[in-house]
Amino acid sequence: MKFGGTSVQDAEAMARVISIVKTRLKRKPVVVSSATAKTTDTLLNCCRTAAEGNYEKATDIIRQIKDRHIKISSELIKDEAKLEELKVKIKDLLDGLRDIIKGIYLLSELSERSIAKVASHGELLSTLILSYAFNESGIKTEYVDARDFMYTNKDFSNAEPLFDVICSKAPVRLDKILNSGKVVVTQGFIASTQDGITTTFSRGGSDYSASIIGMAMNAEEVEIWTDVDGILTADPMIVEETKIIDEITFKEAAELAFFGAKVLHPSTIIPAVEKNIPVRVLNSHYPERKGTLIKKSINEKDSFIKSITSKKEITVLNIYSPKMLLAHGFLKKIFEVFDKHKTSVDVITTSEVNVSLTLDNDESIEGIIKELSEFSEVNVDRDKSLVCIVGSNLKYIPGVAKKVFQVLGEFNITMISQGASVINISFVVDRDKLNDVIKTLHKEFFG
């Protein structure tokens, strides 16, 4: 059971978590929690502030974090002795954080390793408070540091899990606790190298943590508790009349997550697929609602299109080289450049001498353009968005593309991709038209 930041944002939210977990006690739950809402952002801001030389402001940020978590603790824990014990543990955690921040300040240097160590404090604080609150409510609980069994490589703030190691360590660490009738409370997002250095997954990685733990423990189900009712037919910030998707396949959910749907971390589905473990997305504010069930296969109903998602800010590179006509190796040369700069590509369309591709990370774009320009002409289109329509077997359903592009006749559409995936039609539009495009499509297919 993974609970996101808004699901543990204050004492009231944590009390809801406790009441939800109480309904699952017979199923031996492992509770995986994110940091309280906005705490990770605050910690990262604290890092940067210290690296920029403002130690006083950085320590004030730590004080604010402490005050917030002490307030939540005081509202949840009524046993005075236990509350004092918890306050001491919170103080110890934040004293350690202050030492790290001082080191960053003195060195004026902010490494990925330091960022991961600082960011981990959000989850450590929230789970510490949750474990005390569970015990106070009468639920026997054991607090477990995820770094005792979640092992990764040394890519400190975008770590890759060592699945084999986790699958051997997690049951050893957790089975005994669960079999004794206790609930395990542990952290999402954070992990460790095998030599004990703190690492983190990419942002939003608590979903991924829960799915990895589910795989390692052969879980019956992974529940992702968030602040929406499930996976929706479109972004509710764009479309008012969205609908909840009752069931969706692993492949469809993964595609939606990768192409911009924010309900799930893009990697969440991977471990669940490995053991065919259903994943359920639920709303912690309205736990009685049934949410969305993600599983290997589903009984298809009338609607073959499941959802419309998007990446709002993308860059399009158009790469042209007439020298490559009838020559081999053009694509290899292009993608060696992207490999060198560790930049992934979303959508690609090609001809004999032209390649167009989209990036949602333009951090290394200047270096990429410089190297590509050595053997080709490069055009850059900014202010673009990528729209992705996901559904079962779209590739094989006659008339889908016609229906999509007929209704979008007034919009300028480029880089249409259908066929690379049987469940996805994607294309590029001008960013200022994105919302209109999504509303038009949603009205056509779900209105």
- Rounded CA-CA distance 239/161 in Å is 36
Percent of the chain that is helix, strand, coil (3-state, to 5): 45, 20, 35
In eight-state DSSP terms, residue 10 is: S
Q: Is the pLDDT of residue 303 over 80?
A: no
Q: Is the pLDDT of residue 352 over 80?
A: no
Domain annotation for the chain: domains and CATH numbers: 2-220 (3.40.1160.10), 305-446 (3.30.2130.10)
Report the 10 Å Cβ neighbour count for 398: 6
Q: Is the pLDDT of residue 299 over 80?
A: no
Helix (H, G, I), strand (E, B), or coil: what is residue 391? strand
Q: Which two tokens stand for residue 270?
A: 């991977």
Express as a percent the part of the chain with pLDDT over 70. 98
Query: Parallel, antiparallel, or unpaired for β 2-3 and 222-226?
Result: parallel
End-to-end CA distance of the chain: 34
Angle between helical axes of 400-407 and 434-446 (0-180°, round to 10):
130
pLDDT band at 420 (very low <50, low <70, confident <90, very high): low
Q: Which of 32-46, 114-128, 287-301 has the lowest mean pLDDT?
A: 287-301
Q: Which of 31-45, 207-221, 416-430 has the lowest mean pLDDT?
A: 416-430
- Rounded CA-CA distance 14/18 in Å is 6
pTM value?
0.89
pLDDT, tens only, 27-56:
999 999 999 999 999 999 999 999 999 999
Q: What is the mean pLDDT of the chain?
A: 93
What are phi and psi for residue 157, nearest 5 degrees? Answer: -110, 10
Q: Which two tokens stand for residue 203?
A: 């942002």
- Rounded CA-CA distance 330/22 in Å is 59
Q: From the centroid of its chain, how far is CA 274?
A: 19
Helix (H, G, I), strand (E, B), or coil: what is residue 192? strand
Is there a contact between 170 and 213 (Cβ–Cβ < 8 Å)? yes
HSE at residue 374, side-chain half, CA atoms within 13 A, is: 9
Q: Is the pLDDT of residue 298 over 90?
A: no
Q: The tokens 């981990």 sit on which residue?
A: 120
Report the 10 Å Cβ neighbour count for 187: 27
Q: Which of 182-186, 187-191, 209-213, 233-237 has the lowest mean pLDDT?
A: 233-237
HSE at residue 235, side-chain half, CA atoms within 13 A, is: 21
pLDDT, tens only, 144-175:
999 999 999 999 999 999 999 999 999 999 99
Looking at residue 291, its amino acid is: G
Q: Is the pLDDT of residue 387 over 60?
A: yes
